[in-house]
Amino acid sequence: MSLTVVITRDVEMRYRGFLGSAMLEIAPGVYLSPRMSKGVRERVWGVLHDWHGSLGSGAIVMVWRDKSKPGDIAIETLGTPPKDLIEADGLLLARRPAGSDSGVR
């Protein structure tokens, strides 16, 4: 079991109700579960993924501890350019795939 955090932005109210039933809302759109099992995390992400696929609005980021990933952190995203966490010279960096719109002009 590991600490899991979900951050939502510009999503429908159904997300708040669903996430609030499984996690603690510590700030508007920020949900925390100190000890979420892998199975529960995967089911929660499955619901969010399905809803986002049909509703298609807003952005969702899920982060949890995973010792097999760089920095011991895993990340999933919906609705934003996907990000990968990488280690470079001892620093943990968030990398967007080449060609993704960074919003900087």
pLDDT in the model for residue 82:
66
CB 79 within 8 A of CB 29: no
Domains of the chain as residue ranges with CATH: 2-80 (3.30.70.240)
CA distances from 59 to 9, 18, 71 (A): 5, 15, 23
Give the model's pLDDT for residue 104.
46
Q: Which residues of the chain fall short of a pLDDT of 50?
A: 104-105
